[in-house]
Homo-oligomer: A and B are copies of this chain.
Amino acid sequence: MEKNLKSRVTINRLCYKGLDIFTKKGYYNTNLDDILKELELSKGAFYHHFKSKEDFFIHIVQSLIVQKVYALLIEPLNTHEDPMPIILDSIEKALEPNKGNEMVYGFMLADFLTEFSKRNEEISRYLKDVVQMWEVNLVSLLKKGKVDGYIARHLDCEGVAAYIIASFMGVRTLMADKNASQTKYLYLQQLKHYFNSLKPQPEYI
């Protein structure tokens, strides 16, 4: 195989497997050998491509995680319909178990944020950027929804977005150690309920 191609293949294998295992076991609870053993690679290979474990993870964030967030949570927001069903649907999809990985309920962003917030400021910043990207897009969709009459005019779009994000992060925490699909179901029901309350109220006098 061509050198350059082989290199990219190895880097890709490392990143995918890394994200997979980091998601399941957490960053600090995973050692490099856990990843390398499964790929039948050596320390030498790893440190040939990345200068540290931290560097490796940042690479994962900026390629795979950003891409996932974009595909699952941001791209779907690009619409002119009623925002609420769209948001609800994207969140529901983001909470679905990864295909092939039963029990790993989608979306690791929240878990990583918590893991790094007290331990590694640099990585935290990268993760926060991703969240903010989501937040900005949510807010802008909500504002558009207001203009289009889907959302009550008096609502604070930043507040709604923050609330959506907070509840999403939190349900991930709960799903990690309870009956996940049940928790998810209850959560989505109430989120829908909350969304309903954001509609413009018909005026009864």
Number of interface residues of A (CB under 8 A): 47
CB < 8 Å: which of B26, B119, B128, B171 contacts A170? Answer: B171
**CB of A94 to closest CB in B, whole Å:** 14
Q: Are B163 and A186 in contact (CB under 8 A)?
A: yes
Known: A114-B111, A114-B114, A197-B193. A163 touches B177 (CB 8 A): no
Chain B CB count within 10 A is highest, among A26, A167, A169, for A167
Q: Are B162 and A183 in contact (CB under 8 A)?
A: yes
Measured between alpha carbons, how far is A10 from B157 in the docked complex, in Å? 50
23 pairs from A and B in contact (CB 8 Å cutoff) = A24-B118, A26-B118, A28-B28, A110-B170, A111-B114, A113-B176, A114-B115, A128-B178, A156-B190, A160-B190, A162-B183, A163-B186, A163-B187, A165-B170, A166-B171, A166-B173, A166-B174, A169-B170, A170-B170, A170-B172, A170-B173, A193-B194, A204-B204
